[in-house]
Amino acid sequence: MSEEFKPISENISASSSIQVNPYGPHPGDFLSNVGNFQLIESTLREGEQFANAFFSTETKIEIAKALDDFGVDYIELTSPVASEQSRRDCEAICKLGLKAKILTHIRCHMDDARVAVETGVDGVDVVIGTSQFLRKFSHGKDMNYIAQSAIEVIEFVKSKGIEIRFSSEDSFRSDLVDLLNIYRTVDKIGVNRVGIADTVGCANPRQVYELVRTLKSVVNCDIECHFHNDTGCAIANAYTALEGGARLIDVSVLGIGERNGITPLGGLMARMIAADRDYVLSKYKVHKLRDIENLVAEAVQVNIPFNNPITGFCAFTHKAGIHAKAILANPSTYEILSPADFGLTRYIHFANRLTGWNAIKSRVDQLNLHLTDEQCKEVTNKIKKLGDVRQLNIDDVDSIIKDFHADLTTPRVRPTTHDQGLPKIPHTLEELDEPEEKRTKTN
């Protein structure tokens, strides 16, 4: 073939290399905030709308303190008009003197606003449905009414000297012109943030990018985004929103919220570290992530999903032989995240039929035994053989290795008889050494 291939530079240091990615954060994104974002942590608001959530005052305070210690920029709380205790809990958390700013989340009503500003919060997040669905089936108001009530509530909250955010609800099924009109209106009055909310989880990344970019050209204030996870895009949508110029992302621990929830704190941390590790580590105590997730998981009685980013039980487990070999040579080969950043460790899964001799060799070394490469390949074949007939554990592999090592020095007498049950599943190396057809058959 005629083309001449020119491999690019090979000099990579393992430490710097994790982020190496020829595409990088998009160079054309002069508006991108992937290295300059803030978190609005909503476990105590959106998260309280999770089916299993009932947070006592003590639990709310424990979660708020843990999130504050983690370094979230804002903590959002359930509306004080939701219930009497909700109001008292809001007041209690405001009195904790946390570093994070405390927000509460209300409907676009003066009734709600009057209660909210008395709780001691640092800001109020106002939301109203703007989609044709919500206007028709929820509050039944038109855009003129929405604008008028927004103006009234915003000016009232501003008069109290605290932060105000105005968000539409179900933004991705709202009319674009309606949206831009109302956002421009509230921006002119002067809000701290406008919010885009994918309330139903219908948005996809390129839609998000376009809407944020468009809105960015209409308002001067910061843009906050809220993404539900019904179609599994909440993390990617949040990342793409930041690329488009959004500044703040709503998250909750494990993503708990209405239905199957919103952008999860941990998953977003994984995505943002892959984009700008230095920024994330300078701002957030990501090594506390596991404790915070366990705290909330226990409070709402769920298990950490097996496939959870970062803290899933196998997020840093490498199994196939080809993966294990390369990981042993350089972890960056198959890891974009460093488990050490999260106080976690990598695991190389060698007790299975997909294992390779490089992984077994490293186990042999761990056992402080000495085998040549050829001997490692031989014992690896024995391990793969047993791995073909049943699930292996580490003890299985270790005993196979140790027996093999022992045989090299002191050959044993093999038993000469076997029970005649067939098909027979071997559970010992001696059985494995029998001719295969005598042992078992398939189809």
- Binding mask 342-381 toward a copy of itself (x if CB under 8 A, else -) reads -------x--xxx---------------------------
Give least dist CB 145 to a copy of itself, A.
9
Cβ partners under 8 Å of residue 386, min gap 6: 392, 396, 400, 426, 429, 432
Instruction: Identify the CA nearest to 308 among candidates 257, 265, 349.
Output: 265
Window of 284-292, 325-333, 361-369, 407-415 that interacts with a copy of itself by CB under 8 A: 325-333
> Could you say whether residue 20 binds a copy of itself (CB under 8 A)?
yes
Which 388-427 positions form the footprint of a copy of itself (CB under 8 A)?
Answer: 388-391
The total number of residues shown for the chain amounts to 443
First to last CA, the chain: 44
Give least dist CB 198 to a copy of itself, A.
9
Asked if 152 contacts 108 with a C-beta cutoff of 8 angstroms, the reply is: no
> Could you say whether residue 438 binds a copy of itself (CB under 8 A)?
no
Instruction: Identify the CA nearest to 241 among candidates 172, 192, 182.
Output: 172
> Could you say whether residue 296 binds a copy of itself (CB under 8 A)?
no
Give least dist CB 129 to a copy of itself, A.
8
> Could you say whether residue 112 binds a copy of itself (CB under 8 A)?
no
Establish whether 139 is a catalytic residue.
Answer: no
- Distance CA(146)–CA(151), nearest Å, equals 9
In the list 65, 107, 158, 405, the residue contacting a copy of itself (rule: CB under 8 A) is 107
> Could you say whether residue 125 binds a copy of itself (CB under 8 A)?
no
Which 22-61 positions form the footprint of a copy of itself (CB under 8 A)?
Answer: 22-23, 26, 48-52, 54, 57
In the list 193, 226, 277, 323, the residue contacting a copy of itself (rule: CB under 8 A) is 323
In the list 76, 89, 293, 341, the residue contacting a copy of itself (rule: CB under 8 A) is 89
Q: What angle do CA 229, 40, 268 make, to 5 degrees?
A: 50
DSSP letter at 252 equals B
Structure-token pair, residue 21: 């990615």
Find the catalytic residue in 105, 226, 323, 418.
323
> Could you say whether residue 205 binds a copy of itself (CB under 8 A)?
yes
Helix 373-389 and helix 394-409: axis angle, to 10°?
130
Which 232-291 positions form the footprint of a copy of itself (CB under 8 A)?
Answer: 232-237, 239-240, 243, 254-256, 258-261, 264, 267-268, 270-271, 274-275
* Strand partners of residue 227: 198
Give least dist CB 327 to a copy of itself, A.
9
Q: 254's torsion region: left (phi>0), alpha (psi -120 to 50) or beta?
A: left
Residue with tokens 């059985």: 431
In the list 231, 294, 338, 362, the residue contacting a copy of itself (rule: CB under 8 A) is 231
- Distance CA(206)–CA(358), nearest Å, equals 42
In the list 41, 68, 112, 178, the residue contacting a copy of itself (rule: CB under 8 A) is 178
Q: Report CA dihedral (204, 207, 208, 213) to the nearest 10 degrees.
A: 160
Binding residue count for a copy of itself, defined by CB under 8 A: 142
The residue (of 157 and 369) whose beta carbon lies closer to a copy of itself is 157
Residue with tokens 């001997």: 375
Task: Report, in angstroms and rounded to the nearest whole number, the Rg of the chain calculated over CA atoms.
Answer: 29
In the list 118, 175, 407, 433, the residue contacting a copy of itself (rule: CB under 8 A) is 175
The DSSP code sequence of 307-363 is T-TTTSTTTTEE-SHHHHHHHHH-GGGT-SS-GGGGT---EE--SSTT--HHHHHHH
> Could you say whether residue 144 binds a copy of itself (CB under 8 A)?
yes
Give least dist CB 70 to a copy of itself, A.
18
The residue (of 67 and 269) whose beta carbon lies closer to a copy of itself is 269
Give least dist CB 154 to a copy of itself, A.
12
In the list 115, 160, 312, 431, the residue contacting a copy of itself (rule: CB under 8 A) is 312
The residue (of 33 and 86) whose beta carbon lies closer to a copy of itself is 86
- Distance CA(423)–CA(435), nearest Å, equals 13
Active site residues: 323
